[in-house]
Structure formats: C-alpha cells, structure tokens
Structure 1
Amino acid sequence: MLVLETNEYQELSAQELKSALWEAANVLRGSAVDRTDWKGYILPLLFFKRISDVWDEETSEAKEIYGDVDPFQFPEAHRFVLPDGSHWNDVRGLASNVGAALQKAMQEIERANPDTLFRVFGSADWGNKEKFSDELLKDLIEGFSEIQLGNQAVSTDALGDAYEYLVGKFADVTRRNKAGEFYTPRSVVRMMVEILDPKEGESIYDPACGTGGMLLGAIEHVTRKGGDARRFYGKIYGQEKNLTTSAIARMNLVLHGIEDFQVAREDTLRDPAFTDSSTGGLATFDCVIANPPFSLKEWGRDLWEADPWGRAMYGIPPESYGDYAFVQHMIASMAPTGNSRMAVVLPQGALFRKSAEGSIRQALLERDMVEAVIGLAPNLFYGTQLAGCVVILRRKKPESRKNKVLIIDASNLFRKGRAQNFLDQEHSDQIVASYRAFEDVEDRAKVATLDEIKKEGWTLNISRYVLPPIGQDIPPLPEAVEAFKTALADARAAEDHLRKVLVEGGWLQ
C-alpha cells in the first residue's frame, strides 16, 4: 500500500472546500456520464478520499507513539480497515484499468468493514470503459487528489456541510427528474425537526430517508440545544429504496462523525426492514420523520390487503396515491407509550381528497392523532412545483390540545427564486413559533375543534379554516377592468378560430 506522509495542512474554509469539490466534480462535464447520475460517482469518490486521508493521519499518529512500524500491526489506531492495495494512492498510481482497480478497492473496503461500511459505495459501474476511459478517471482522481480531506485540513462539520452542499447541487441539476425524492431542502428539515424537538437518548426513524438529511437534522438539533448527540448512537434508523441514495445516506452520516446507525436498503411499504421479534410487529420509535415521494403510484396496494404488519388499520389507500400508506406505516412505527410523535411532508391534495383517503383521514381525526397541519408555499421542493404541507401527529396529545387541530397557512412565507422558491430561516422561525403558540392568528392560523372539522366533512383543506387577507393580490379597478377586456377579446378570438377549424373539417355545419 502506498502511503503519503501527513503534513500540517492549512484548514480549508467551508466555501473553499465546496468550490474545490464542485470544480473536481466538473471534470465529468462533457463526458458520457449523464449529469443526473453524477452523484453516484462523485460522492463515493469523496468518501474514498476522506477515509484514505484520515487513515494516513491515523498512521502518522501511531508512528509517533509506536515508532516506524507496519501500520497493519495496530488496527486499533484506525476507525476503518483499509485492506492492502485499497488506498486512494494505490489507485492513483495506476496507468491503466483504473476503473476496475477503483471498483475492487471500494469492494474490499466494504468487505473489511461489514458492520459500518456495508454497501456504502453504492453500485457505480466504474469498470464501464464506455463511460470511463482511463484518462477521464485519472483526471477525476487527480482533481480530488489536490484536495486534502483529512481531519487536519477539514473538520467533520465542514466536510459534512460540503457533502450536503454537493447533494444539494446534484439535486438542483436533476430538478426535473424528481430529485425531491431523495433530497429535502435543509430549511424544511430544520423546521420539521424544531417542531418534533427530539431529545438526546430518544430513537428516531425515517422510513424514506433519502440522503439522510432528516436524521442528521435531528442530531444537529440536539447538539444546538446543548445535548450530547452521542446518546443517539444505536438509535438512528433509516430505510431507503434506492441503492445509490441509501449508500449516499450512509456516507453522509459517517462523514458527519455519526457512529452506530442503521440505514437499510429496502422498499419500506413492501418490505419494512425494522421489526420487533418480541411483539411480532414493526419496531417502534420515539420520533418518526419523513418526506416520502408525493402520491406514489403502484406502491404495493395488493400486499396491503393482507399486510402482515397490520399497517392498514385505518383503511387501504388507492393504488395511485401512496401518501396515506406512508402515513399509516409511520403511525405503526410510533412507540405505543410515551411522547411518540411524527412529522410527514405530503402534497396538499392529501388534505382534502375523498374516497378511501377521506375515510383514512376521518379515522385519524376521530382518534385525535392529528395535532397540526402546516400549508407551505408552492415550488419549495425539488422535482415538483406542487405546494406541500407538513402534518404533525402524536400518539398522545397534551391535555390542552386534545380534540383540536392547529391549521397554519404558511403559503406566503417564502423567498422567490428564479427557478425555485426558498423557505428562509426567518420563515421557518415564524412557522415554529405559530406551532408552539397553538392559537388563532388572523390570516395565519386557526385552532379548529374536531366538531368544526366534522362539519366541514372531515376535510383539512387549509382555505376552509384560514382565509387570505381581503384585498390581497387584488389589482386596482382600472387594471382589473382592462385585464378582463383583454381576456374577453382573447376568448372570443379563440372561439372564432375553433369555429373556423370545425367548419373547415366538416364537423360543424
């Protein structure tokens, strides 16, 4: 194994690191690798470089203690095992068959660390020479080689932030390809976590964990509050269907310094990964949080007709809308006692659609599990321009909130961007403050009783309870009249054109 001596490096600033990493990633620009697939290659490379650089630092520290000896004699000096021939510099030194060597090195590292790095590098096809010539891979590796990623050059927090930055950049690149299915904007994550308020020592579970942002958000929340995030270790659980994305989540947690977590790569609705042998049911958790895919089709309704885990206790959702399948899975995953609670992102249609979804929603309301509904602005999430909402449910509400639901209209809390809207910290703070106050606020929030909701037909459509300010977005009368005249003229012209087409085609006499 080739090992470079570790020198004292000047610590990179957060912005310098982000810029350097994105510049290295751009080596793929113009290559046969589709930009929507970059994340599956760049993020594993970043992780490989990090653990190699840290291994070098650990080796240097061991030499200072034990002298100039074979580093393999002191495995306890290293967080991860790097098998012989599987170091970054081993791959960097090759002139040919670089992709095959890279793939082999990553596989050997996974095998040598089965408890911590299982499947962490994903399924990238590094050996595909139609995608990766030796020249392209060597350029890519050299770009990353110029960035020192050991602990001396980059702190865990800085590297974790840079990693999240890259995930966000890749989500931006693939916005038109449902990137929102694996990435939730950090401001939305922070708002949801602030509302759930996880405590140190509690367990947390994300059944649609994507790149792990929700899990990290919960840990960071505890740290901000002065708690010890290490008390989360062994109590962090995530499940993600996509192989590449689940690998990214594992890398994300490791790069943030998190130890002893479980991220399973399985289909949550068809094959839940976390079960409790003592009860024969699903494992349960103190906090459950997720942003599942909006209105997932073909989600597995046929299996739920006889679900062995008993998740369809409130009804079976329609085949074309999987929203309430995720909701019911999350409810079944909430601990039956204590202060268990959950927060889920849903499309706003789930608040008022009828039929099977209406029956499920009614059942949840009648059992007094829905605590709050927060309507968000449109176009906040990657991959969809639809307005989403956050629904908070509790197994047991505080006495003062029983038989009530707080409905918040936060649709005007956003910063408009060119291609996407953004929920800034000030907006998030306002939403959290409204939730904690749990009181009526004109044009913003309504505490609706279950009787009031029943009279509305069990709908949670936000506009039924919170009306926008009168006069909002209403133009001056002269402008309105002129706009009406223009629209009327356009409508008449379109009608005349349609009549002409129908007559000429023989459809209208």
Structure 2
Amino acid sequence: MAPVSQDDINAAVWSACDTFRGTVDPSIYKDFVLTMLFLKYVSDVWQDHYDDYKKQYGDHPELIEEMLKNERFVLPARASFYALYNLRHSPGNGERIDKALDAIEDANITKLRDVFQDISFNSNKLGDEQQKNDILRHLLEDFAKPALDLRPSRVGQLDVIGNAYEFLIKNFASTSGKKAGEFYTPPEVSTLMARLMAPQEGDEICDPTCGSGSLLMKCGRLIRQNTGSRKYALYGQEAIGSTWALAKMNMFLHGEDNHRIEWGDTIRNPKLLDGKASLKHFDIVVANPPFSLEKWGFDGADADKFSRFRRGVPPRTKGDYAFILHMIETMKTGTGRMAVVVPHGVLFRGAAEGRIRQRLIEENLLDVVIGLPEKLFYGTGIPAAVLVFRKNKADDKVLFIDASRGYEPGKNQNVLREKEDLDLIVETVRARQSVDKYAYLASPAEIAENDFNLNIPRYVDTFEEEAEIDLMAVRREREQLKTELASLEAQMAVYLKELGYE
C-alpha cells in the first residue's frame, strides 16, 4: 500500500473545505473539517487493528471483540466514520454525527472529556435541515476518498491533525485565519526548539500557549527516538476552546496518554498549578506565544498572586514579556530550561521591557539569543528570534547567533533546512564559542556596556568588506569594449550596404 504524504492529506482536507465555502464562515468550518479528520483517523486505526485480528483469529467475532478491548481507545460500532458514511443519504446526518462523537467521548471519558462540547454538526450554522444534510453528506464523501485512507500502515509517524490544523490556518486568508496565525509555529522552528531543549527521559515538559500540541509532541517524540522510553509527561494550556479540543484529539491520536492540557488564559488564569497556591514547575518550558499581544491582562498584573511580575510589569499593549516572565516562573530550580519565540522588539525595546530584560540578564538566566530569517512565520514577514533561558547555566555569558541568512527561499515563506540550518544552529549552541560572522559569546560586561540591548548586530558582526576596485583594470576593460563595439558597428554597416540600405 503506497504511503500517504502530508501534502496528500492537506490537499484532500482543503478540497473538503470546498463543501462549506460560500455557506459557512471559515473560522467555523475549520473546526468541522478537523473534527471529521479526527473521526476518520480514529476509524481507520480501529479498522486496521480489526483487520489484523481477523487475519489472526479468522471467523471468531467474540475473540476479536475481546482483543479489541485491549486497544488504547474504544470505538463504538455505531460511532465509526464508516457507519455514518453508509447512512449519508438518510435524513439526520447532523444528529447522527453528534451522537457518534458523544459515544466516542463516553467510551474514552478519561481521555476525551468535554472535547466535543463546542462542536455540533447539528447546528443551524450549517443552514436548514435539507441544506445541512447535503453539506454533511458531501463532507462524509470527501473523507471517504482513497487519498484520506489514514491507516497507520500508510500514515506512519505523521502528526496528521497538528499538520492539517497548521496547514488550514496558513491557508485561511480570512480574519480568523490571521488571528489564529499568531499561534502557528512552522514545523522546523518547533523542531529547532525541541532539539535545543534536549528533552530527557523523566522530564516534565510544558507549553503554556500550546495550540494544537505539536511542539509538545515534538519534545515527546525526541525522547522516544533517543531512549525508546515513554517515561515523560506533557503539560499545556490553550486559551481558544476549539484549539484546546484539537490538542486533546492530537494527544489521543498519538498515544500521548501521560498529558494534561488545560483550557484557559495562561496569564489571567494559569491552570497548571501545584496545589492551589503555587504554579507547577517543569524541566522544560517551550512556547510560541502570540506576538506583542495587546490585551494580555495588564490590569491584574500588579496584584498577581504568583508574583510573576516582580521584575516589572510589561507595557499595557505588548504582552511578550508577560509570557516570558510566566515561563521563567515555571522552570524547575535545577534542571529548568526554556525556549520561546519572540519578535525582535523584545531584544531592544526600552522602558518597562528594558528594565525586565536587565533583571533577567543580571540574574544570569538568559543563555542564548538566536536570530531567525524573515518570512518564516505565517501572518507576518518580520523575522523572529528564539531566546533560551536556563536556571543552571554553565557560565555567566550569553551566546548570540545570527542565523538570519541560512534558509531555503520559498514563494510565500522561507524554510529552515535540516542539515545546513538546524544542525548548524544546534551544534553552535552546544559548542558555545564565537564563530566569525555567525556567533558571539558575550560577557555580562559587554552586554551592560550596550545598556542591556540584545540587538544581535551589536554582537555578531556580519559586515563583509567589499573587494577593492582596480580602476586601471576597469579602464582597460572599457577601452577594449569600445574597440569591440566599433568593430561590430563597421561590420553592421557593411551588411546594411550589401542589403541596399545606405
């Protein structure tokens, strides 16, 4: 059976979106399409396992039933995608799909509690009963196409839901798409962050703005690849309800059973707590928070009961340091390390942000500053940076890396390459030494001399001297060209004369 690529899945999912276009707002139909993708994936995995047992045990349905009880999840027969597909021409598609999702939630309540509470296929948003039934019949037919056969033997290790979610966000030009784009991390940037954190067996890993959970799952996958162990725990919080539901579905699909993903605003209402009075601490904290969020929770920050803003309250209209300070506060004392994606303004803006930056540097928490290329992130052409902080640093210096020129150009977005770009960044961080025109290891005194401004060109000199111009050689070349031109014009005059043109 030919393997399926993410591009195949994305194309099929995009064509499923056509079913809704012109009828439903993109911000709404994204959730229907992704939930249907989940249902199809779960059904295909279940079918794959059922077929395997059938090969082993032949015509013994009760034995097959017994074996299926040992699966990591339960799929009630009437809740399968195929049961719904077979009834697609009958009235009541919306109600049937909702009941199927309820049945899946009930059968897997500890893993999927409340995940489908915000989505209803029986909603009036899809039009009157006849129109709704037609739309949902088309949707079921879209997902029954061979391209969307999502059995594990075809899909392999693909993060189907996470990648499709990111693909849809990238491709929605609507306002909702741009808004959601704040939370979209290109896959290679999340790979870079996971590798920089070097997650180990036994680590507790947190993403306080976790989106669909892809960055967390990358960290988990690294541990499994390097050690074969599943001994780690993933924690996340997500403010948008439908995206929280996707993260839960994603964890479920990928067998990440040791996770806790909360729904709520991380700054105003952090939910990953150790008891009631204090924030939980983690070995690794990673995030791509929304860039310069305007309404981040300034009004309650002064009285924050977790003292996250004791180094200073970030500006009212820029929430970047609110997320950074929250993450700093949740690192474990010995092993704690974090990587966060930020817009470049975080490196040099003054006033409150300048004071917070100075405190973090003086406390020797900042470890590495990495400047990334422009046009990597959807929704903004501006270049971003990755900051690495550690609770237990090897020295008191900060390593600056200018990785802004290492990428593969794309039509709409640039891409970091595995070998030339990602490997080079990770190896440079590990070596922790200056590299001409690429990296500089700065002392605290040098940073203080720069007024705690972290703008990368202040530390990494990428200036290339232009070769000296030999004016005499240029003059000789010019004379030679003039002679050649005169000779060509004389030849042209001969040809014109022969053709009768004087």
**TM-score (structure 2 length as normaliser):** 0.83
Aligned counterpart for 1:380 among listed residues 376, 379, 386: 376
**What residue in structure 2 maps to residue 5 of structure 1?**
none
SS in 1 for 2:95: helix
State the AA in 1 paired with 2:197: L
**What residue in structure 1 maps to residue 397 of structure 2?**
404
Give the distance between the partners of 1:473 and 1:119, measured in 2 at CA: 66
Aligned counterpart for 1:253 among listed residues 240, 251, 254: 251
> Quick check: 1:115 aligned with 2:114?
no
**What residue in structure 1 maps to residue 304 of structure 2?**
307
Structure 2: runs of 5 or more not aligned = 472-502
**What residue in structure 1 maps to residue 21 of structure 2?**
30
Residues 101 and 260 of structure 1, relative CA distance in 2, 3 Å threshold: same
**What residue in structure 2 maps to residue 3 of structure 1?**
none
> Quick check: 1:420 aligned with 2:416?
no
> Quick check: 1:214 aligned with 2:207?
no
Give the distance between the partners of 2:434 and 2:52, measured in 1 at CA: 60
Answer whether contact 2:202 2:231 (CA < 8 A) is retained: yes
Give the distance between the partners of 2:104 and 2:243, measured in 1 at CA: 19
Give the distance between the partners of 1:419 and 1:153, measured in 2 at CA: 33
Shift, 1:21, TM fit: 3.3
Residues 416 and 104 of structure 1, relative CA distance in 2, 3 Å threshold: same
Shift, 1:35, TM fit: 3.7
State the AA in 1 paired with 2:244: S
**What residue in structure 1 maps to residue 291 of structure 2?**
294
State the AA in 2 paired with 1:418: K
Identity over aligned pairs, percent: 35
Answer whether contact 2:203 2:284 (CA < 8 A) is retained: yes
Shift, 1:71, TM fit: 7.4
Residues 473 and 18 of structure 1, relative CA distance in 2, 3 Å threshold: farther
Residues 446 and 68 of structure 1, relative CA distance in 2, 3 Å threshold: closer
Report Cα offsets for 1:403-445 as digits up to 9, x if no partner.
2111111121222222222222221222112212211122211
Pairing 1:155-166 to 2, within 5 Å after superposition: 155-158=155-158, 160=159, 162-166=160-164
Report Cα offsets for 1:138-194 as digits up to 9, x if no partner.
111022123474646434514x2x434422321221366134323211111111111
Give the distance between the partners of 2:118 and 2:196, measured in 1 at CA: 36
**What residue in structure 1 maps to residue 446 of structure 2?**
452
Give the distance between the partners of 2:118 and 2:44, measured in 1 at CA: 23
Residues 331 and 244 of structure 1, relative CA distance in 2, 3 Å threshold: same
Shift, 1:23, TM fit: 6.0
- Please say which structure displays the higher CA radius of gyration: 2
State the AA in 2 paired with 1:169: F
SS in 1 for 2:442: strand
**What residue in structure 2 maps to residue 154 of structure 1?**
154
Shift, 1:34, TM fit: 3.3
Answer whether contact 1:31 1:131 (CA < 8 A) is retained: no
**TM-score (structure 1 length as normaliser):** 0.82
Answer whether contact 2:181 2:379 (CA < 8 A) is retained: yes
Report Cα offsets for 1:201-241 as digits up to 9, x if no partner.
2111000111112111112222333x124112xx1111110
State the AA in 2 paired with 1:174: F
> Quick check: 1:355 aligned with 2:351?
yes
Pairing 1:32-431 to 2, within 5 Å after superposition: 32-59=23-50, 64=57, 67-69=60-62, 76-83=69-76, 85-92=78-85, 93-94=87-88, 95-121=90-116, 123-131=118-126, 133-147=132-146, 149=149, 151=151, 153-158=153-158, 160=159, 162-174=160-172, 177-225=178-226, 227-232=227-232, 235-277=233-275, 280-337=277-334, 339-398=335-394, 402-425=395-418, 426-431=420-425
Residues 213 and 172 of structure 1, relative CA distance in 2, 3 Å threshold: same
Give the distance between the partners of 1:242 and 1:474, measured in 2 at CA: 57
Structure 1: runs of 5 or more not aligned = 1-9, 478-509
Give the distance between the partners of 2:393 and 2:204, measured in 1 at CA: 19
Residues 70 and 23 of structure 1, relative CA distance in 2, 3 Å threshold: farther
Answer whether contact 2:238 2:266 (CA < 8 A) is retained: yes
Give the distance between the partners of 1:271 and 1:390, measured in 2 at CA: 25
In the alignment of these two chains, the number of paired residues is 458
Residues 443 and 16 of structure 1, relative CA distance in 2, 3 Å threshold: closer
Answer whether contact 1:204 1:237 (CA < 8 A) is retained: yes
Give the distance between the partners of 2:92 and 2:241, measured in 1 at CA: 25
